[in-house]
Structure 1
Amino acid sequence: MSKEIINQMDAALTETLQLLSSLNEEQINKIPFAGSWTAAQVVQHLYKSIKGMDELLYTPSQQADRNPEEKAQWLKDIFLNYENKMKSPDFILPEDKYYDQSELKDSLESAKDKMTEAAKNSKLEEMAPLPEGHPLNGITKLETLYFVTYHTIRHNHQMKNIRENLQ
């Protein structure tokens, strides 16, 4: 099962990069409708949410005392319910600025590659060593892959909506 979610995660992040490339730099920095992030801010948010997560996967931790995929469906139900509006934690909020498209692409691509490599070479049945108070505290390393996948799919949906409103 871990191979399947790794492939899904990689595919979702690849789709994000394709969506980013489908718009020009002016479009990615344009607010498509009131209350929305720009496409660039969505990509920056995704980047901030996975940056350094490869290190988390490599960090030795305690073995899970439960099914390491137990919370996968819960994460799917939360992130793929598009009716449910969510508020981002402050530490992964994107800055309100003009973004360089190639820098954004390179940053996300690098984080994606590191994350995919770490996922293939880590003990995913271990608990994710997250700090106390982190919104995902108590999930396994395998469940972090489900989080990244479903969180990315959610924002790809948002990017498609932004793209439609810009064209």
Structure 2
Amino acid sequence: MLNKEQLKTDIHTTFATLSSLLDKFSDSQLNTVPFEGSWTAGQVAEHIIICGSGIPESKTEPAKRSPNDLVKPVSEMFLNFGIKFKTAPMLEPQQSHHSKKATLDTISEIEKTHLRTVANSDLEALCMDMELPTFGYMTRYEWVRFVLVHTQRHTRQIENIYKAVE
């Protein structure tokens, strides 16, 4: 059985940590390139927003496996900071300027969206709209867990950016 209460706690903790970190930035710092070849903290936040705004769940079917089989391997990959990933063009930030308030408001809405998903949806359903590269189709539970580890990975990136721009 999946622990929905723990998942809700993890959602809140992950997004609260990100929001608290972003709140330390001034609007100017949020839009400052910390070093050559890097995104700004605002661009990283935009990437988190693009990737975490929802899960591909319009078409689902019952999973023929445990609903959390992919949590550990996905977490191990995304929380391995020695691995560098190439961002797909559709997931790259598009805005040149980011408002701290708008960014924080959007992140708060994303947190609420995921909390509603946990409260109101079948987390064991397999989402058939999109496969995560390397892993394939994932359950709603796995997608929410992916959003969390992806956000945690990029929160660490934003911490490094903050150290460079403060």
Give the aligned partner of residue 81 of structure 1.
80
Paired with 1:4 and 1:119, the residues of 2 have a C-alpha distance of: 10
Determine if contact 2:22/2:104 at 8 Å carries over to the other structure: yes
Q: Deviations over 1:54-106 (max 9, x none)?
A: xx45x462111101000001111110000101111222211150111111111
Identity of aligned residues (%): 25
Instruction: Report how far residue 154 of structure 1 moved.
Output: 0.3
Instruction: Report how far residue 49 of structure 1 moved.
Output: 0.8
Give the aligned partner of residue 71 of structure 1.
70
Paired with 1:164 and 1:83, the residues of 2 have a C-alpha distance of: 19
After superposing on structure 2, the runs of 4+ consecutive aligned residues of structure 1 that deviate more than 6 Å are: none
Paired with 1:107 and 1:9, the residues of 2 have a C-alpha distance of: 15
Paired with 1:9 and 1:92, the residues of 2 have a C-alpha distance of: 21
Paired with 2:112 and 2:105, the residues of 1 have a C-alpha distance of: 11
SS at match of 2:129: coil
Aligned positions of 1:16-165 closer than 5 A = 16-53=18-55, 56-57=56-57, 59=58, 61-131=60-130, 135=133, 137-165=136-164
Gaps of 5+ in 1: none
Q: State the TM-score, normalized to the length of structure 2.
A: 0.90
Paired with 1:8 and 1:134, the residues of 2 have a C-alpha distance of: 21
SS at match of 1:82: coil
Gaps of 5+ in 2: none
Number of aligned positions between the proteins:
163
